[in-house]
Amino acid sequence: MTDQMTTQLTQEIRIAASKRRTFAIISHPDAGKTTLTEKLLLYSGMLRTAGMVGARKDRKSATSDWMEMEQERGISITASAMQFPYKDAVINVLDTPGHQDFCEDTYRTLTAADSAIMVIDAAKGVETQTRKLFEVCRLRQIPVLTLINKMDLPGRTPLDLMTEVEEVLGIQASPINWPIGSGREFMGVVNRETRQVLLFTKTAKAGAAKPELETLALDDPSLKSRVPAYIWEELEHDLELLEVAGNPFSKEEFQNGKVTPVFFGSALTNFGVETFFDAFVDMAPHPHARVADLPDGDEQMIEPAEVPFSAYVFKLQANMNPRHRDSTAFMRVCSGKFDRDMVVKHHRTKSDVRLSRPHSMVAKERNTVDVAYPGDVIGIINTGAFQIGDTISLTEGFNYKPLPQFQPEVFARVRPKDTTMRKSFDKGIEQLAKEGAIQIMRSLDGLEFFVGAVGRLQFDVLEFRLESEYRVKSIVDMLPYESSAWLVGDVETFKPPSDALVVKDSQNRAVVLFRSAWSKNFARERNPEHDFNDMG
Ligand code: G4P
């Protein structure tokens, strides 16, 4: 390539990367993640009316019946990573499976995101799954924008919710807009900086199409006659209070994960949604340099536009059809430009691999990818070459950081029904552990063997796949533990609570399984010399 061509390519990548917003939506089930995604598609012009509701209902039916589970997974495959244009930006939204699907993938996917949108139900506040996902964002320093959703329903006061975000999540919350009224009287939002008011008009088909909006200045005299007096008074009071006691917003602090900008809205009725998306595109970072390990132990920042194509595998999605043992490897492009059929270096196996049949998702359609840029996600059919965390690139010489492992929260003793099938059983379990769906643990004497997973559904998947792919029927006995943590300190001197269990993970690290948060606290108090880690 001539110098001029190289400069042109670098420029092309720089422009493409600057338009990318690669993010995940984190929330507790039912807070409105699906509805918000649907609205993002509506506002980007990908859907003419918001109407994926039927699919949502199917997906939600909590069942472990395999056929339905497959269907359910079909939908979550569809949503693994969707790409579409939104105004001048290119959106890559990564799905973080929730509900029963909650698993390590949910956490790992966050490593591929440059930012996250946290959706909170205004009536429920910060819930457990949101808290866990937020914790991963904090540890990875992923900037988080907050949308307080369902403002059209009776909920808690905005001030109360702000306090909860700050106290429960330990991050400064800075409201960018503030709601005018709530529940049936949710009429609009005020932008605190521009002091502009956005008034919504309810339409008969609220939700299916964009709402009618009116923009007024906060000091517009007509406002007082349109907003009921008690709502106006409350608004003035809150705004004054925020002026004095509210956290200031700075883009830098947000991008460093120190402050979360907060917005209020209602995804179902579309109120406040477009303003939120616009602000998101404006504030959220585009793909930035990622740290990679060099063979000599040093680190290197891999700049998206400066280094030829490189990517890493963050998720493997097994093919649920037992006749095809392949899976899809989802890779995040970190640098350079990807061209279809490119031959790349696979660092772990030290081999060359052709990236053929790459695909991405646009709304519900699977599309072949011809080119991709930093921030994009491509799915490649994997016949065994790829493992989670693998780095691939045009040039060798570096590896992206290994993906963190997360402590399981559900545990079981798993054994083959027919003991003569032990060999196939072990092979199957090992393969599934390699894919990252489950973690294998052993008792300290090495005789007993346990399986841990982040979500309950993984055990159904495990049973099914052992039978369909390895012809082994298995028995799964669930254990009463509800959390686990790596033990930091000497296992010999550790005094576990009587209801806890100390085991070893696949790398021989000591892991403590707890029955309750109380038990974990007790262990902490009893062992001041030791500590616990939830992520490794
Ligand atoms: P999730 O993906 O986070 O699990 O949540 P999802 O979007 O599926 O929303 C959960 C329920 O909350 C849905 O109702 C959805 O319509 C409703 N919802 C989402 N955002 C809002 C909002 O801003 N206001 C109101 N009032 N409701 C909202 P559902 O009855 O479970 O399903 P459906 O009958 O609406 O499909």
What distance in angstroms lies between residue 24's CA and the mean position of ligand 1's atoms?
18
Q: Give the residue with greater pLDDT, 260 vs 68.
A: 260
Verify whether ligand 1 is closer than 6 Å to residue 32 (CB atom).
yes
User: Measured from the CA of 36, which atom of ligand 1 is nearest?
Assistant: 7
pLDDT of residue 65: 35
What integer pLDDT is reported at residue 208 of this predicted model?
64
Cα separation values, 318 from 70, 323, 326, 391, 458, Å: 11, 12, 7, 19, 12
C-alpha 460/C-alpha 414 separation (Å) is 12
Distance 268 CA to ligand 1 centre (A): 7
Considering only residues 240 and 449, tell me which one the structure prediction assigns the higher pLDDT.
Answer: 240
pLDDT mean over 317-336: 77
Span 290-315, mean pLDDT?
Answer: 94
CA distance 439 to 89: 39
* E strand map for 176-289: 177-180, 188-191, 196-201, 212-217, 259-264
The verdict on the CB of residue 184 being under 6 Å from ligand 1 is: no
pLDDT above 70 coverage of the chain, percent = 88
d(CA 307, CA 246): 42
Mean pLDDT for the chain?
87
Tokens of 48: 């003419």
Go through the domains of the chain in sequence order and give each one's CATH number: 19-283 (3.40.50.300), 290-400 (2.40.30.10), 410-533 (3.30.70.3280)
**What pLDDT sits at residue 448?**
82
Q: Which is the closest atom of ligand 1 to the Cα of 153? A: 26
Identify the band that residue 385 occupies on the pLDDT scale cut at 50, 70 and 90.
confident
Q: How far is it, in rounded angstroms, from Cα 81 to Cα 377?
A: 7
pLDDT of res. 365: 62
Hey, which residues does 531 pair with through a beta bridge? 488
| pLDDT at residue 320, rounded to an integer | 54
Lowest mean pLDDT among 8-17, 53-62, 271-280, 415-424: 53-62
User: Is any ligand 1 atom within 6 A of the Cβ of residue 31?
Assistant: yes
**What local confidence, expressed as pLDDT, does residue 73 receive?**
45
Instruction: Tell me what the mean pLDDT of segment 69-93 comes to.
Output: 69
Reported residue count of the chain is 536
Q: What is the Å distance from ligand 1's center to 57 Cα?
A: 10
Say what the alpha-carbon torsion angle 83, 86, 89, 95 is, to the nearest 10 degrees. -40
Strands (DSSP E) contained in 87-143 are 89-94, 115-121
Confidence (pLDDT) at 62: 30
Please report where in the chains the tokens 């032990």 appear, as a residue: 422
Please give the Cα distance from 146 to 262 (Å, whole number): 5
Task: Name which residue leads in pLDDT, 56 or 226.
Answer: 226
pLDDT of residue 59: 43
Q: What is the pLDDT of residue 461?
A: 81
475 alpha carbon – ligand 1 mean position (Å): 37
Using pLDDT thresholds of 50, 70 and 90, give the confidence band for residue 140. confident
Q: What is the pLDDT of residue 64?
A: 29
Phi, psi angles (nearest 5°) of residue 300: -140, 140
Cα separation values, 449 from 124, 136, 407, 422, 477, Å: 39, 28, 17, 13, 12
pTM of the entire predicted model: 0.87
